[in-house]
Structure 1
Amino acid sequence: MSEPDNIGDRLRSLRDERSMTRRELADDSGVDVALIEKLEHGRRGTARLTWLTRLADALNVEVSRLLGGRRSEERGAERAPGPPGDVQDLGDVVASVDSMPGMDTDDAGEAPDLAELNAAVDAAWHAYRMGNMTRLAGLLPGLIGEARLASSELGASAAGPLAEAHQLAARLFVHYGRCDLAEVAAECAIRAAEGGGDELEWETLHGTYSWTLLCEGRPRASEEHAVSIAASTEPSMDEAALRDLTVWGGLLLAAMAAASAADRTASTTEYLGLAGSAARRFSRDRLDYHVGFGPARVATEATHAYAMLHEPGLALRSAGDVHAGELSPRSYGRHLIDVARAQTEIRDLRAAEETLCEAESLCATSFSPAGPAHAVVSDVVVDVGHLTPELRRMARAVQVHA
């Protein structure tokens, strides 16, 4: 049976599946029954993301089910799909400050509840960290529209959600290879943060902007930007709060990634030394302003940098300081791809294959024709004498002729 093709039909179908009346759904969700009726009768095409989230929670489904996403059991193993139509919609939103998709004219002037808006931003971050980019693409246009409305009505207190929504948009655009739009979104995030007066958030967003420059193939500009912000905000190493060191260290790691991409070994080593000094204040990694920093993060980024610089010995030495429990499964899988890259360079091809198999089990989306595993799988396929069934499967995933 095909899925209903609009929000009203999907809402009615889900409500009927649960044998709920509109009044019961309204009572459980806190959404006015009149709005539910308008949606189901097609008199409104959509509604606020925060209201849709309440309805989804009452129906015990993800918001993506109301927005048209498939059931999780129908998705299967997610493998870096092409950009959904929502990505282009999001590009239109970011490019136009007047555009508020997901908002009906009936919503104009009604400032979203700030707590609900922050909860919606947190849900979007969760989708990003779980690698559910399709869901994120569906959430962000409406979320940016709501955050803009909240910012216009509530002022500085809503600057944070608006900045984070654009920051997530920048990251999503990079994921789908739209680095031009990612740079625009990162600039919007910085401008939004300037209205909130949170200096650390402002610094963090410059780190995101630096990353977009690197993804555009501009490593020198990326490095210079990250270094300039880090130099102007350098905290006292002994007295600074850990969150200050997290943000500053994140900028240094951004500079290190750019330097390694440009084959600048000396600069890479310099930034790594500074970041390592800051990380010694940490007993374990922490997350501040959605930036992870600490000993494991530094070692992970060092592994990547040295793998890119064709220094496999240094990469594997750094990898020895990274343990699975210190990173999310997806991040650890990406790290293992760098380990496999280094193992391939020292001609330990069987070890590289085993490492790639483990990486694939943790982050299948990296094993696509444009994913980070492509080059490593290609090298192993070319150099190994006999292709195992596992290696043949990975070769097909990244579209390497085996």
Structure 2
Amino acid sequence: MPETSTIGTNLKRIRRERAMSQEGLAERAGLSRDTVAKLEQGRRQGERTTTLMKLATALDVDLTELTGRRERLGGDRGDASVLALRDALLAPSLLPGLAGLDVDDDGAPTPPHELRAAVGRGWDLYWAGDFGSLTAALPGLIGETRLAHRTLGAAVAASLAQAYQLAACLLVHFGKLDLAALSAERAVTAAAEGDDEWQWATTHGTYAWVLLHQARLEEAERVAVLAAARIEPSFSAPEAHLAVWGNLLMTALAPAAAAGRDPSDYIDSAAAAARRIGHRVDAYQTAFGPATVRMQAVHAWATLKDPGHALAEARHVRPGELRGISYSRHLLDVAQVHVDARQPRAAETRLAEARATSRVWFRHQAIARSLVAEVREITTRPSPTIRSLVGELGLD
């Protein structure tokens, strides 16, 4: 998370604007008054995302209003690229009857196969954690795909849906959750115009993931579960079908765990589908397989502060079994388990491994900031590694 002083200042300001006492806020959020007081005083380091979600919900604000999260792309890119992505999503030409506002509305539309390839390259950048290149390219990709959709319709609906999904996922990392929700909603709408129900279901998984980051836990779980129920496969279904269904269950698992509920039913059902497949399947720009289920199980048990279950699952996850930054995110969950077990050296090793995959991606992970701050606090003499991580994230 961002610096505790920022969170404390924002928390106190918003609480007072709501005319709430610390006791009243604590009761509404299901927390102790001591937690609220220490956060406001900057005395609690590396506060959990789930705690901040409860406070944001109790205050009726977006989580980013507490954390003060901002883009941290570095000097090679800037806010201009993010603003260009915003403008692409909020283009006036999307209004009914105003299509003529598109300045690039002349010429033949890009062929569907070229759009599929371009969207696929965008997803490759995402999974590689190359957010700078992706942010620069995505506004043009969305505009080009949207113009083709205007002419070709359902033939490019899947590409348009995946372009919007890509924007939604990227914007979550930037903390632009309202824009992410808008983009995810447009992905669902675009997919509904096509004839691929699995693509439609995948976009609902993205929408549910955005809701999770907005701390709308009940809605996030419900969207994922309802989409999974609609496409529930038979045991002999194609691998891609099982993969989409399994991923929806894994999406439902996270808000369930964040709400403090046992995720075993989701894990068991998804694990059965993963065993049926037996290996990783890449489908609809997502991946699913036995390692995916174990990765999400680690996340759930880490959220529930059950290190025994979490580490038992983590022992079976190997590099290369997960796609790109998914493994890096898994390493952050393992680091969380080690922090909870008061094993700072093991935690910093996992954090350093996660950073090695993509420094840009790493700088956008709120959990990375939280964990590095917590390791620094519980370490008597911070190692060169943890000092490097502190500098990387701007925590010094």
1:272 corresponds in structure 2 to: 267
Counterpart amino acid of 2:375? V
Alpha carbons 1:83, 1:176 under 8 Å: kept? no
Residues 52-201 of structure 1 correspond to what in structure 2 (within 5 A)?
A: 80-81=73-74, 84-96=79-91, 98=93, 105=103, 107-201=105-199
Contact 1:206/1:226 (8 A) holds in 2: yes
Contact 1:125 1:168 in 2 (8 A): yes
CA drift of 1:327 comes to: 2.3
Q: Which amino acid aligns with 2:175?
A: G
The 1:85/1:129 distance shift into structure 2, 3 A limit, reads same
Q: Could you say which structure has the greater relative contact order, defined with CA pairs below 8 angstroms and 6 or more residues apart?
A: 2
CA distance in 2, matches of 1:211, 1:106: 32
Deviation at 1:166, TM superposition (A): 0.9
Superposed displacement of residue 253, structure 1: 0.4
* Offset of residue 84 of structure 1: 2.8
- Structure 2 partner of 1:331: 326
Q: Distance in 2 between the 1:114 and 1:280 partners?
A: 34
Q: Which has the larger radius of gyration?
A: 1
Give, in whole Å, the separation in 1 of the partners of 2:313 and 2:133.
Answer: 34
- Name the CA distance, whole Å, in 1 between partners of 2:233 and 2:364: 42
Report if aligned partners of 1:366, 1:372 keep a CA contact under 8 Å in 2.
no
Answer yes or no: is the 8 Å Cα contact 2:129–2:324 preserved in 1.
no
Q: Secondary structure at the match of 1:303?
A: helix
The alpha-carbon distance between structure 1 residues 213 and 326, as it changes in their structure 2 partners (threshold 3 A), is same
Contact 2:354/2:362 (<8 A) preserved: no
Correspondence for 1:262 among 255, 259, 262? 259
Question: Unaligned regions of 5+ residues in structure 2, if any?
Answer: 1-70
How far residue 83 of structure 1 moved from its aligned partner, in angstroms, is 5.8
Whether the 8 Å contact between 1:369 and 1:397 is mirrored in structure 2 is no
Task: Tell me, in whole angstroms, the C-alpha distance in 2 between the residues paired with 1:393 and 1:89.
Answer: 32
Report whether the alignment pairs 1:304 with 2:299: yes
**Aligned alpha-carbon RMSD (Å):** 2.3
Q: Which moved more, 1:201-210 or 1:351-360?
A: 351-360
Shift of 1:106: 6.4
Give, in whole Å, the separation in 2 of the partners of 1:369 and 1:117. Answer: 28
Are 1:366 and 1:373, in contact at CA under 8 Å, matched by a contact in 2? no
How many Å separate the matches in 1 of 2:330 and 2:345?
Answer: 18
* The one of 236, 240, 245 aligned to 1:243: 240
Q: Is the CA contact 2:287–2:322 (under 8 Å) kept in the aligned structure 1? A: no
Q: Residue 350 in 1 paired to residue 359 in 2?
A: no
Gapped runs of 5+ residues in structure 1?
1-77
Matches of 2:364 and 2:159, distance apart in 1 = 34
TM-aligned CA deviation for residue 372 of structure 1 = 2.2
User: Per the alignment, do residues 300 and 85 of structure 1 end up closer, same or farther by CA in structure 2, a change over 3 Å counting?
Assistant: same
Please show how residues 216-235 of structure 1 align to structure 2 within 5 Å.
216-235=214-233
TM-score (normalised: structure 1): 0.74
What displacement does 1:396 show?
2.3
Give runs of ≥4 in structure 1 deviating > 6 Å.
none
